[in-house]
Amino acid sequence: MRLIIFFDLPTLTNNDLVEYRKFRTFLIKNGFIMMQESVYCKLVLNNNSSNLLKKQIYKNLPKSGLVQLLQITEKQFTSIEYLKGKSKSNIVDSEKRIIEL
């Protein structure tokens, strides 16, 4: 399954920018991949790992702004339709255990 984080954080003051960078850095260090600006996703193997990650996210939420979390199945994630443009990621992001290069 996938966890998708959507966020809209204020960036008006220096403190806002610090909070924004801190949250974004937290996501990247925990394996989230940017799908587009302010939308990050991560592949999780089961509900236990999903619940642990959610607890970490709650602990690292910024003080202000909007943060949303969506959990979907891998089948739902693979049905994303690109209406304009293409995926720009060169990161291999798959549920497969073996990746041939």
Mean pLDDT score across all residues of the chain: 87
Residues 72-86: tens digit of each pLDDT: 999 999 888 888 877
Q: The tokens of 99 are what?
A: 């990746």
For 8, the 3-state DSSP assignment is strand
Residues 29-54: tens digit of each pLDDT: 999 999 999 999 999 999 999 999 99
Please list, in sequence order, all residues whose beta carbon lies within 8 angstroms of the beta carbon of residue 71, skipping any fewer than 6 positions away: 1, 2, 3, 4, 50
pTM across the whole model: 0.79
Task: Please check whether residue 66 is in contact with residue 23, taking contact to mean a CB–CB distance below 8 angstroms.
Answer: no
CATH 3.30.70.240 for domain 2-78? yes
Alpha carbon distance 4, 2 (integer Å) = 6
